[in-house]
A and B are shown apart, each in its own frame.
Chain A
Amino acid sequence: MVDSVVELDRVIVRFAGDSGDGMQLVGDRFTNLSAAFGNDLATLPDYPAEIRAPAGTLPGVSAFQVHISNHDIVTPGDFPDVLVAMNPAALKANLVHVKPGATLIVNADAFEERNLAKAGYEQNPLEDNSLADYTLYKIPMTTLTIEATKPTGAKPRDAERSKNFFALGIVSWMYSRPFEPTLEWIGKRFSARPELAEINTLAFKAGVNFGETTEIFGHAYEVKPAKLDPGTYINITGNTGLAWGLIAASKLSGLDLFLGSYPITPASDILHELSKHKNFSVKTLQAEDEIAGVGAALGASFGGLLGVTTTSGPGMDLKAETIGLALQLELPLIVIDVQRGGPSTGLPTKSEQSDLLMAMYGRHGESPLPVIAAKTPSDCFFVAIEAARIAIKYRTPVVVLSDGYLANGAEPWKLPDCDLLAEIDPKFSREPNGEHPDGSPAFFPYLRDPETLARPWAPPGTAGLEHRVGGLEKADVTGNVSYDPENHEHMIRVRAAKVAGIANELAPLEVDDPDKAKVLVVGWGSTHGSIVGAIRRVRANGGAVAHVHLTHMFPLPRDLGDILRRYDRVIVPELNTGQLSKVLRAEYSIETIDVNKIQAQPFKVGELEEAFAREVFGA
C-alpha cells in the first residue's frame, strides 16, 4: 500500500499507443476529469492522418498530451512528466518528447519480438538499460486486463481492447483523480452494450487497484484545483467554440444560420456540431465538394441568411473563386479555415499557420477582404461572432483562421452570459433608395452607406427591390454591368476602402508591457499560449519584454504602426516561414526578427523563451 501523497503544482501526461488503442479517448477522459476537479489545463491531441495505419508501426502511433495545473497555464506543456506507452512504437515515437528523469509507464506485454521489430528496435529497450535515465514502470497491462475481466467471460481478444482503461486507472490513481466520474461515464457511454461497460469498468478498476496495492509506485501525487475566476466552466475545443459562436451570431443577428461544407480534417467537427442544433434553425448542407459548400453558403447569404462555409487549406484553394464572387457581390459570408500542415495534402492532422497570406491575397484580381484569427479554443467563440459582425456590417466575405491545434485542443472556459453579447443589425433594405429619371422609385443595389461604404443588402422578397448581381464588374450605384475603365478603377478602390475602413472601428490594441521593454513580441493565432508562457519565464528571469497579440490580420489595427515603432526590436514568432513578418515589413517598413517553426507542431515554451531571451539579454 502507498499512503503518501505528494503535492505538485502541475503535471504533463502523454498517453501514447496504437491508433486502435483508444488513446484519444482516455486522454480526453483524463482531461475532463481534471477539468471537473478544478485544475487549469490545456491539451494537445497528436494523431496520424491514416485512420488505421498498420498496427504496431511508428506511423500508426496516436498520442494525447494533457497539462494539468493548480494555477493558470497557457500551453499543453513542452515535455511530459509521464509518458504512457502502450507498445514499442509508441515508446519510440514519443521518447523524443520526454526528458530524462521523466516517468515511463509501459505495457510490458506489448514488447515482444514482432512489435519490437515493427518499431525498429533491435533489442528490447525495457531490458537493455537504455532507459536507465527514466523512472520506468513495466506493467503487463494486457495480461492484467484479461485477468481482471475474466469474470465477464469475455474472450481475451475482446478483453484486451480495454487495456486503455487499465492505463487510465493507473494514471487516475497516480494523480489522485476521483474515480466515480469515469465509472459513470463508462456506464453512459456503453449503455447500449452493457457487456462492454462491464469489461471497461473492470479494466479501469484493476488499473486503479494496481496503483494502490502494488508497491512499485513510491507514492501518489496530487494537483490541487487552480484558483480560477468564479463562474460556470466547461472544457471547450476550438471547433466547438467556432460552432457555438456561429450559433450565437445567428441569434444576435436574427439571421438563420446556413452552413455549406464538405468534410475535411481538421474542420469537420464544426459541421458535426452545427448539424446537431436544429432547434436553433441551423441549416447544414454536406455539399458534393468544397466549391459547392461555399456556393450554397453564398446562395443562402443572397437569400438573407447568415451563410458560412468551413474548411481547411486544400478546401480554401477550391473555394477561392467563389470567395472572389462573394467579394464582388458584396454579400456577407463567413469562411472558416482551420489551418493544417501544407502545401497540398500536407499534414492533415497537424497544425500550422501557413495560410495567412493565402487568406489575405489568395484570389485573382484586386480582392481584399477581412481576415481574423483566433488565439485560443474559447476565443474561437468570440472570433466567430466578430466575423459575423464584420461580414454583415460591411457586406463582405470574412476569412476566419483557426488551426488544427485550436480545433482539437481544449481548455477550461468560463462561460459568458450570452444575454450581454451585442446584437448585430443586418439592416436589410426594405424600400427603394432612389428614383428613376422619370421620378418613379428605384432601387440602387450599389448605392453605398457613406460611412461604412457598405452596399444595401436586399434579399429576395421585397417588391420594388428586384435587382441582379453578378461577377462582372458593376457600375457604381446602379449595379448594372459596366465595362467603363474609370468605373472599374473606382469600384476597385471603393471596395478596398470599405475593407480598409474596418480598421477605424477596432479597439486600441492592448500592449502588455509592465517593464518598459525595448523588445516587443508580435503574435497571432494559436501561438498565443506558447508566447505568453515564454514571456512569463523571461520576465521571471528579470527580462523586460512586451507583447501584443493580433486578432484582426486584415485590415491591421490603426495603432499597430505606432506600437511597432516604439520598440527597438520586434520579434514575430510564427508556425510558418514568416508570413505576418513579411506583411509587417511591407506595411510599416520596419525590421523584424523572425522566429519560425515549420514542423506542424506548436512552439514549445522553452523554444520561444530561448529566442526571446536572446534578444532581451543579448547573446
Chain B
Amino acid sequence: MTDTLIPTTTRKDWTSDQEVRWCPGCGDYSILAAVQMLMPDLGIRRENTVFISGIGCAARFPYYMNTFGMHSIHGRAPAIASGLALARPDLSVWVISGDGDALSIGGNHLIHALRRNVNLNILLFNNQIYGLTKGQYSPTSEAGKVTKSTPFGSLETPFNPMSLALGAEATFVARTHDMDRKHMMEMFRRAHAHHGASFVEVYQNCNVFNDGAFEEILSKDVRSDMLITLEHGKQIRFGADGQFVVVSDGNGGVKIALAQEVEDSEIIVHDEHNPNPALAFALSRLASGPHSPTPIGVFRDVVHPEYGDQMADQIQRALDSKGPGDLNSLLRSAGATWEVH
C-alpha cells in the first residue's frame, strides 16, 4: 500500500446505519460480520471501497456497508463492477452475489469477468436455493430437489462453482463457509490481496428455504472428518487425527485414502500456484455436493496479467508515442482533408 495515512478504523466505521433485514438466523449475517471485521485490516479507505450486488437475498449486502455501493440488477453485477474497476483502478471493488444471481441469470457475466481477470473480489453466497423468490431450486441445487417449482424433483445437474470458475480461467478460486468466521476472513483477505479476479464461494445456510443444506459437512461433530482444509505447500490431510489423505486416483482425478494405507510420497501436496489448473479441478470434483468430504480453502492463486493494468498500459503507450490527444488535430489528421478558399 502506498497510502500511508490510512486512518485506523473499526468494524463500526464500516457498518452503515441501515437496519439489516435478512431472516433471523440467516447465514448472511455471519458473512457480513466477517467482511465488516476484516475491512479495518485491509489497509484501504472506506471512500475507495465499493460493494456491488445484483438481485437476491445476498444482494442487500451493499446497503449494510458504510462504503460506496450499488444494488444493481439481476445477474449483472460482474459486468457493472468490471466497468467500474476498469474505470477506477484505484478502488477496491467487491461483487456480492448468490447462486441464482451469479450462476443462473448472470452466468455469462461471471465467466467473462473471471477470464478477463479484472481486479474484482467476487463473493458467491451459495445456499443452493432461491431465497428471495421464496424457494425454487437454483443452479446449485442437487438433482431431484423438491421445491415449489419442482414438486416432482429437479431434473437438472447442478453446477460445481469451483469447477466452473477453474474452467473459466479464474486466477483465484477459494471456498469457505458461513460457520467459520476466521476462515472466511482469511479467504476474503486472500481474495483482496490477489491482483485480478478473485472468486470465493461461501457455503451459506438459508434457514428458511433450505435449512441444513450443508449440515452433513458443517455440523460441529462431523466437521473434522468432512472438511478438507487446503493449505499451500502442505500434504492434503484431514480427519480428527489426520487419518485421511488425498491421493491420485490413477485416472486423472483424486480420491480419499487412509493415511496408513498409502506411501507418504503418494499424498498430494497442495500447490495453489500451479500454473496447470488440472489438480485444482480434480480437487473441486472430490465431492459432488456437500455430502461427502469437501475441500475448503484456496484452490488456485496464480499471477496473471490483470485486465485494467493492460488497458492502462496500452493507453500509456499511446500517450508516450502520440502525446495527449488534441481535438482539432484529431479531426484534421484522421482522413484526407481539403481546403476550400
Q: Interface of A with B (CB < 8 Å)? A: 32, 35-36, 38, 181, 225, 228-236, 240, 244, 247-248, 251, 256, 258, 260, 277-281, 283, 285, 287-289, 291-292, 295-300, 302-305, 307, 321-322, 325, 329, 414-419, 459-472, 480-481
Q: A296-B83, A300-B84, A471-B72 are in contact. Are A415 and B331 (CB under 8 A)?
A: yes
Would A462 and B47 count as touching, CB distance under 8 A?
yes
Nearest B-chain residue to A280, judged by Cβ? B325
How far in angstroms is the closest Cβ of chain B from A5? 22
Please report the C-alpha to C-alpha distance between residue A468 and residue B135 in the assembled complex, in whole angstroms.
28
Please report the C-alpha to C-alpha distance between residue A283 and residue B88 in the assembled complex, in whole angstroms.
11
Would B337 and A234 count as touching, CB distance under 8 A?
yes
Please report the C-alpha to C-alpha distance between residue A236 and residue B338 in the assembled complex, in whole angstroms.
12
Nearest B-chain residue to A248, judged by Cβ? B327
Would B46 and A283 count as touching, CB distance under 8 A?
no
How far in angstroms is the closest Cβ of chain B from A219? 27
Nearest B-chain residue to A324, judged by Cβ? B73
| Chain B contacts for A298, CB-based, 8 A | 80, 83
Nearest A-chain residue to B311, judged by Cβ? A283
Would A322 and B71 count as touching, CB distance under 8 A?
no
Please report the C-alpha to C-alpha distance between residue A181 and residue B335 in the assembled complex, in whole angstroms.
13
| Chain B contacts for A302, CB-based, 8 A | 50, 70, 80, 83-84
Would A291 and B70 count as touching, CB distance under 8 A?
no
Would B79 and A296 count as touching, CB distance under 8 A?
yes
Nearest B-chain residue to A329, judged by Cβ? B70
Would B84 and A299 count as touching, CB distance under 8 A?
yes
Would A321 and B73 count as touching, CB distance under 8 A?
yes
Nearest B-chain residue to A229, judged by Cβ? B340
Would B337 and A325 count as touching, CB distance under 8 A?
no
Would B76 and A295 count as touching, CB distance under 8 A?
yes
How far in angstroms is the closest Cβ of chain B from A204? 18
Q: Interface of B with A (CB < 8 Å)? A: 16, 18, 45-50, 52, 55, 62-63, 65-73, 76, 79-88, 90-91, 108-109, 112, 311, 314-315, 317-319, 321-325, 327-328, 330-332, 334-341
| Chain A contacts for B328, CB-based, 8 A | 415, 417-419
Majority DSSP secondary structure for residues of A touching B:
mixed
Please report the C-alpha to C-alpha distance between residue A498 and residue B16 in the assembled complex, in whole angstroms.
29
Closest 4 CB pairs of A and B: A299-B83, A470-B71, A296-B83, A295-B79
Would A230 and B87 count as touching, CB distance under 8 A?
no
| Chain A contacts for B331, CB-based, 8 A | 234, 244, 415-416, 418
Would A469 and B69 count as touching, CB distance under 8 A?
yes
How far in angstroms is the closest Cβ of chain B from A593? 39
Q: Which among B66, B317, B330 has the highest number of chain A CB atoms within 10 Å?
A: B330
Please report the C-alpha to C-alpha distance between residue A231 and residue B328 in the assembled complex, in whole angstroms.
13
How far in angstroms is the closest Cβ of chain B from A397? 14
Would A468 and B69 count as touching, CB distance under 8 A?
yes
How far in angstroms is the closest Cβ of chain B from A70? 13
Would A288 and B112 count as touching, CB distance under 8 A?
yes
| Chain B contacts for A303, CB-based, 8 A | 83-84, 87-88, 91
Q: Given contacts A460-B68, A467-B69, could you give 20 more A-B pairs where the C-beta distance is less than 8 Å?
A: A225-B340, A231-B340, A234-B334, A235-B335, A247-B327, A248-B327, A251-B327, A278-B317, A281-B315, A292-B79, A295-B80, A296-B79, A298-B80, A302-B83, A466-B46, A466-B66, A468-B65, A468-B71, A470-B70, A471-B72
How far in angstroms is the closest Cβ of chain A from B37? 18
How far in angstroms is the closest Cβ of chain B from A413? 9
How far in angstroms is the closest Cβ of chain B from A428? 13
Would A296 and B86 count as touching, CB distance under 8 A?
yes
Would A233 and B87 count as touching, CB distance under 8 A?
no
Please report the C-alpha to C-alpha distance between residue A307 and residue B86 in the assembled complex, in whole angstroms.
12
| Chain A contacts for B335, CB-based, 8 A | 32, 234-236
Q: A279-B324, A469-B69 are in contact. Are A460 and B80 (CB under 8 A)?
A: no
Please report the C-alpha to C-alpha distance between residue A335 and residue B18 in the assembled complex, in whole angstroms.
33
Nearest A-chain residue to B46, judged by Cβ? A466
Q: List 14 A-B contacts (CB under 8 A).
A: A36-B336, A231-B339, A231-B340, A233-B340, A234-B337, A247-B327, A251-B327, A258-B86, A260-B83, A277-B318, A288-B108, A295-B82, A299-B84, A466-B68
| Chain A contacts for B87, CB-based, 8 A | 256, 258, 283, 299-300, 303-305, 307
Would A465 and B16 count as touching, CB distance under 8 A?
no
| Chain B contacts for A281, CB-based, 8 A | 315, 319, 325
Would B47 and A463 count as touching, CB distance under 8 A?
yes
Would A463 and B45 count as touching, CB distance under 8 A?
yes
| Chain B contacts for A305, CB-based, 8 A | 87-88
| Chain A contacts for B84, CB-based, 8 A | 299-300, 302-303
Please report the C-alpha to C-alpha distance between residue A285 and residue B87 in the assembled complex, in whole angstroms.
10
| Chain A contacts for B65, CB-based, 8 A | 468
Please report the C-alpha to C-alpha distance between residue A420 and residue B330 in the assembled complex, in whole angstroms.
15
Please report the C-alpha to C-alpha distance between residue A278 and residue B66 in the assembled complex, in whole angstroms.
35
Would A418 and B338 count as touching, CB distance under 8 A?
no
Selected contact of B83 from candidates A233, A240, A300, A466, CB within 8 Å: A300
Would B324 and A470 count as touching, CB distance under 8 A?
no
Would B319 and A299 count as touching, CB distance under 8 A?
no
Q: A258-B86, A472-B71 are in contact. Are A299 and B79 (CB under 8 A)?
A: yes
Please report the C-alpha to C-alpha distance between residue A461 and residue B68 in the assembled complex, in whole angstroms.
9
Please report the C-alpha to C-alpha distance between residue A236 and residue B70 in the assembled complex, in whole angstroms.
40
Nearest A-chain residue to B317, judged by Cβ? A278
Please report the C-alpha to C-alpha distance between residue A461 and residue B49 in the assembled complex, in whole angstroms.
8
How far in angstroms is the closest Cβ of chain A from B228? 34
Please report the C-alpha to C-alpha distance between residue A232 and residue B52 in the assembled complex, in whole angstroms.
48
How far in angstroms is the closest Cβ of chain B from A105? 26
Nearest A-chain residue to B92, judged by Cβ? A460
| Chain B contacts for A464, CB-based, 8 A | 47
| Chain A contacts for B325, CB-based, 8 A | 247, 251, 277, 279-281
| Chain A contacts for B52, CB-based, 8 A | 299
Would B46 and A481 count as touching, CB distance under 8 A?
no
Please report the C-alpha to C-alpha distance between residue A481 and residue B50 in the assembled complex, in whole angstroms.
18
How far in angstroms is the closest Cβ of chain B from A304? 7
How far in angstroms is the closest Cβ of chain A from B93? 9
Nearest A-chain residue to B109, judged by Cβ? A292
Nearest A-chain residue to B322, judged by Cβ? A279
Please report the C-alpha to C-alpha distance between residue A35 and residue B336 in the assembled complex, in whole angstroms.
9
Please report the C-alpha to C-alpha distance between residue A462 and residue B50 in the assembled complex, in whole angstroms.
12
Selected contact of B330 from candidates A38, A181, A280, A472, CB within 8 Å: A280
| Chain B contacts for A295, CB-based, 8 A | 72, 76, 79-80, 82-83, 109
Would B47 and A460 count as touching, CB distance under 8 A?
yes
Nearest A-chain residue to B328, judged by Cβ? A418
Selected contact of A258 from candidates B72, B83, B336, CB within 8 Å: B83
| Chain A contacts for B63, CB-based, 8 A | 468, 470, 481
How far in angstroms is the closest Cβ of chain B from A129? 44
Selected contact of A322 from candidates B49, B76, B82, CB within 8 Å: B76
How far in angstroms is the closest Cβ of chain A from B46? 6
| Chain B contacts for A471, CB-based, 8 A | 55, 71-73
Would B109 and A468 count as touching, CB distance under 8 A?
no
Selected contact of B48 from candidates A36, A244, A460, CB within 8 Å: A460
Nearest A-chain residue to B77, judged by Cβ? A295
Q: A235-B336, A291-B76 are in contact. Are A468 and B70 (CB under 8 A)?
A: yes
Please report the C-alpha to C-alpha distance between residue A38 and residue B86 in the assembled complex, in whole angstroms.
44
| Chain B contacts for A248, CB-based, 8 A | 327
How far in angstroms is the closest Cβ of chain B from A243? 10
| Chain B contacts for A296, CB-based, 8 A | 79-80, 82-83, 86
Q: A292-B112, A325-B72 are in contact. Are A234 and B332 (CB under 8 A)?
A: yes
Please report the C-alpha to C-alpha distance between residue A71 and residue B76 in the assembled complex, in whole angstroms.
52
Nearest B-chain residue to A236, judged by Cβ? B335
Please report the C-alpha to C-alpha distance between residue A225 and residue B341 in the assembled complex, in whole angstroms.
11
Nearest B-chain residue to A470, judged by Cβ? B71
| Chain B contacts for A480, CB-based, 8 A | 18
Please report the C-alpha to C-alpha distance between residue A469 and residue B62 in the assembled complex, in whole angstroms.
9
Please report the C-alpha to C-alpha distance between residue A240 and residue B65 in the assembled complex, in whole angstroms.
43
Would B73 and A288 count as touching, CB distance under 8 A?
no
| Chain A contacts for B47, CB-based, 8 A | 460-466
Selected contact of B62 from candidates A234, A236, A416, A468, CB within 8 Å: A468
| Chain A contacts for B55, CB-based, 8 A | 471
Nearest B-chain residue to A471, judged by Cβ? B73
